[in-house]
Amino acid sequence: MEVTVNRQELYKAVTRVQSIIEKRSNMPILSMILVSAKGSELVISATDLEISLQQKTVAEVAVPGSVTIPGRKFFEILKESKSEKLLLKERQNARIFISDENARYNLACLPPDEYPVFVEPEGVTAAEIGGLVLREMIEKTIYSVTMEEAGFKLSGIYVEKIGQDEKAFLRMVSTDGHRLSLIEKEVEGIKNIDMPSGVMIPKKGMMELSKLASEGGVLQLGFKQSNCLARAGDSMLVMRLLESKFPDYNAVIPKRTKSVIKIKRDALLDGMKKMMILSNETYRGVKISLENNIMELVSVNPDLGDAQEKLEIDYKGERFDAGFNPKYFTDVLQNMDSEIVEVGLIDNSSPCIIKGSDDKGFLGLIMPMRL
């Protein structure tokens, strides 16, 4: 293989696959990226066997072929180079020659036929979805995915299509057992995709999908058997779906709340951040009290002291007291756009619901805790 390519374009492509490359693996080939030259394009491929990403870029191909290149070292070479063009040339003894006219490198590589085969699912019916819409949906659910290794069945985002009044919605739900995030958006073509029931996309795959969506434009999203396929421009992402069954989340969401408090998002967010200052692994709760148009936040840590703050609200009901984890509030509020949020409460043993008029289709649910 011998090819000349624009360094900046190649750098963007190689940067995009860095988070997929396995840093510590008993399979050395997974720390490599596959570079294939054919016609007038260069194809960059990376995989960890669960997620595969393929990037295409225009190139001047003198000799077609494929090579593997150490992914991290190749990224560093491209990052430090200041040249406009880069030459890649395969040499004998499993070496790849890289030159930017000033610096020259000879890197050891592995046989390309050892690289895991990139298989594109066939016959996938895809729906078009705006990249920024998809990114918003992921950002508003990914923080609720469990971090615990034992929580495998919750280690992804549940995705399903919902039909309402002849309209089709794409819904995403995530939970770690202590909180839940749900968002749905109307997506015209989603009714045509092959997804008879909901699917679970792993957290790492969703992070890659969010990166793909962050560039805006329109994405093609489809599902086939155990895979999710996403296309955007010259990028193609294939993710293996989780086989776990997501719990019945509808049973957790209250049909109605007893009291709905409207409050400025920034004020509540700042208050919860202050309550977190004294928290640690043992003491990490905040007591919320409502009475006489005042929301009082109190955090107590016997080893350090206590903190409290009062926020003005519109509340004339009977006194209400409940304990929650303030971090769960900050995670929800930081990912909302509404200036005024609605906090729905029932009692001290029922979940709290957070919504906002500028966060259409979204709700955050937080379970109470004993203090």
Q: How many residues does the chain have?
A: 371
Residue 300 lies in a domain: yes
d(CA 32, CA 293): 61
The string of DSSP codes covering 245-291 is: PPP-GGGTS-S--SEEEEEEHHHHHHHHHHHHTT--SS---EEEEEE
Q: Are residues 242 and 130 in the same domain?
A: yes
**Helices (H), ranges, 47-186:** 71-80, 131-139
Closest alpha carbon to 284 in 340, 321, 330, 316:
330
R_g over Cα of the chain = 25
Both 220 and 297 in a single domain?
A: no
Token pair belonging to 273: 């951040």
371: in domain: no
* pLDDT at residue 151, as a whole number: 55
Q: Looking at 204, 235, 250, which one is the last position of a domain?
A: 250
**Does position 130 have pLDDT exceeding 60, yes or no?**
yes
Share of the chain above pLDDT 70, in %: 98
CA–CA distance, 364 with 356 (Å, rounded to integer): 10
In a domain, 163, yes or no: yes
Q: Which of 84, 114, 144 is the last residue of a domain?
A: 114
DSSP 3-state assignment of 336? coil
One-letter amino acid at 231 equals: R
Average pLDDT (228-255) is 93
Residue 121: inside a domain: no
Whether 293 is in a domain gets the answer yes
Q: Is there a domain that residue 271 lies in?
A: yes
Q: What pLDDT digit, counting tens, does each position of 134-153 carry?
A: 999 999 999 999 876 555 66
Which pLDDT band, with edges at 50, 70 and 90, does 335 fall under? Answer: very high
Residue 215 reports pLDDT greater than 90: no
- Examine the domain organization and report whether 220 and 269 are in the same domain: no
The answer, yes or no, to whether residue 281 has pLDDT greater than 90, is no
- pLDDT, tens digit, for every residue of 69-86? 999 999 999 999 999 999
What does the pLDDT read at residue 333? 98
- Work out the average pLDDT over 257-275: 95
Say how far apart CA 298 and CA 301 lie, in whole Å.
10
Same domain membership, residue 80 and residue 47: yes
Q: What is the pLDDT of residues 11-45, one digit of tens each?
A: 999 999 999 998 777 889 999 999 999 999 999 99
- Report pLDDT digits (tens) over 100-123: 988 999 999 999 999 998 778 888
Q: Domain total for the chain?
A: 3
Q: What is the pLDDT of residues 36-48, one digit of tens each?
A: 999 999 999 999 9
- Per-residue pLDDT at 149: 57
3 state SS of 83: coil
Instruction: Summarize pLDDT for 161-202 with one digit per residue, the tens.
Output: 998 767 889 999 999 999 999 999 998 888 888 787 899 999
**Residue 120 within any structural domain of the chain:** no
* Domain membership flag for residue 320: yes
Sign of CA dihedral 5, 6, 9, 11: positive
Same domain? For 242 and 339 the reply is no
Whether residues 281 and 315 fall in one domain: yes
- Give the pLDDT confidence score for residue 180 in this predicted structure: 97
Distance, in Å, from the CA atom of 89 to the CA atom of 109, rounded to the nearest integer, reads 12
- Report the pLDDT averaged over residues 314-320: 89
| CATH number where 343 lies | 3.10.150.10
Domain end, chosen from 197, 232, 250, is at: 250
What is the spatial distance between Cα 366 and Cα 371, in angstroms, rounded to a whole number? 15
How many C-beta atoms lie closer than 10 Å to residue 52's C-beta?
23
For residue 129, pLDDT over 90 is answered with: yes
276 plus 225 within the same structural domain: no
Structural domain span for residue 310: 253-366
Per-residue b or e along 30-50, where b marks 16 or more CB atoms closer than 10 Å to that residue's CB: bbbbbbbbeeeebbbbbbbee
Specify whether 110 is located in the same domain as 131. Answer: no
What are the tens digits of pLDDT across the range 283-315? Answer: 889 999 999 999 999 999 998 999 999 999 988
Whether 138 and 208 share a structural domain:
yes
Residues 133 and 245 grouped into a single domain: yes
Query: What's the confidence (pLDDT) of residue 306?
Result: 94
| pLDDT mean across residues, the chain | 92
* Residues 217 and 287 placed together within one structural domain of the fold: no
Instruction: Tell me what the mean pLDDT of segment 226-230 comes to.
Output: 92
- pLDDT surpassing 70 at residue 348: yes
Question: What pLDDT was estimated at residue 152?
Answer: 63
Asked if residue 199 and residue 147 are part of one domain, the reply reads: yes
Amino acid at site 134: L
